[in-house]
Amino acid sequence: MPAIGSDNELSCRFIAAKKSGAGFQYFTLDGTTSYIRFAARRAIAAYQGTSDSESPAILPFPFADSAKGLAPKCDPAAPPDADLSSPLSAEKLKAIFLP
């Protein structure tokens, strides 16, 4: 399987395939939605001439690991490209993606 980021569509397909007996191996590290927050905080602090005391270390975490039984989140009501590894709640994600 090629390297693909985890999105709602792939996660839902993984869960459906597993239920039907046609599962596949799936592992993804996530937490990448925080990259933008770190970059924005650094940029704003630099612009304002202040310091940003938050660590710039980005620590991805396993979002799905079929070998260890860690299933990804799937929300059929959310758009296919929604990133459910985001720290935003499902309601906030739907408010962003759905009209």
- DSSP string for 47-74: HHT----S------EEEEEGGGTBPPP-
For residue range 18-51, what is the model confidence (pLDDT) as tens digits? 999 998 898 888 777 677 788 888 899 999 999 8
pLDDT at 86: 77
CA–CA dist 85, 72 (Å, integer): 8
With a pLDDT cut of 90, the percent of the chain lying above it is: 28
The whole-number average pLDDT for the span 85-97 is: 79
Asked whether 82 and 8 are in contact (CB, 8 A), the reply is yes
Tokens of 22: 């046609």
pTM to 2 decimal places: 0.69
